[in-house]
Chains A and B, each alone.
Chain A
Amino acid sequence: TQLLEQSPQFLSIQEGENLTVYCNSSSVFSSLQWYRQEPGEGPVLLVTVVTGGEVKKLKRLTFQFGDARKDSSLHITAAQPGDTGLYLCAGAKGSTLGRLYFGRGTQLTVWP
């Protein structure tokens, strides 16, 4: 059973379009992170959100943590081919330090 459900699994869009990726759970997390992974490499952290309702912006990427700290979303404005990659959400629980729970990922392809 996956603790974090990520959707959609695949997303194929044209350059300039907007998109949103969702990460949902029935569990509460002390923090939630978004990673991006390029082919042949390990995931790289994009952002960490800690407070319920928190919104963080990273250039064209906007991350939101749900008020109840059970879900998160990643919104990309005016997607570019350089945004192509695998986006992973991961949650941490204060009761299990050292362990992250990952979603299955969203494979994003942005066509020129």
Chain B
Amino acid sequence: NAGVTQTPKFQVLKTGQSMTLQCAQDMNHEYMSWYRQDPGMGLRLIHYSVGAGITDQGEVPNGYNVSRSTTEDFPLRLLSAAPSQTSVYFCASSYEGGRGETQYFGPGTRLLVL
């Protein structure tokens, strides 16, 4: 199993550009999430999904779109990048296994918006 994979690993954008951060998991997990991590802020939830076709907003959804057409994939779209979106983005997948929910994280995408 590859687990959770994210592409690209690094990206530099200019203000106003759009891009899609890719996330895929091969563990057949129902739940997937996108977080951003900034210094001193921990992990902040952007959007999450409890299954194909179902998404919901987290704490900081503005400026980001998601869709979940398959169980495996959960792309995150930046519509018009802003410098405030410079961050490290983590995708995670999880399941409820009866002993609480365990999230498995990808390696992250480091995004710089100029």
What is the interface of chain A, defined by CB distance below 8 A to chain B?
2, 6, 9, 30-33, 40-45, 48-50, 88, 90, 92, 97-105
Q: Nearest chain A CB to B112's CB is how many angstroms away?
A: 15
Interface magnitude class on chain B: 20 to 34
Q: When the two chains form their complex, are residues B94 and A98 in contact, meaning their CB atoms are under 8 A apart?
A: yes
Instruction: Pick from B30, B33, B100, B108: contact of A50, CB below 8 A.
Output: B100
Binding site secondary structure of chain B = strand
Contact of B42 with A102 in the complex, beta carbons under 8 Å: yes
Chain A residues with Cβ below 8 Å from B42 are 2, 6, 88, 102-105
Does B107 reach chain A (CB closer than 8 Å)? yes
Closest 7 CB pairs of A and B: A31-B100, A42-B105, A98-B31, A104-B42, A98-B50, A48-B100, A102-B43
Shortest C-beta distance, B40 to chain A (Å), equals 7
Q: Which residues of B contact A33 (CB under 8 A)?
A: 100-103
Contact of B40 among A9, A43, A49, A88 (CB under 8 A): A9
Among B43, B92, B94, max chain A CB count under 10 A is at B43
* A45 neighbours in B (Cβ, 8 Å): 102-104
Chain B residues, CB < 8 A from A9 = 40
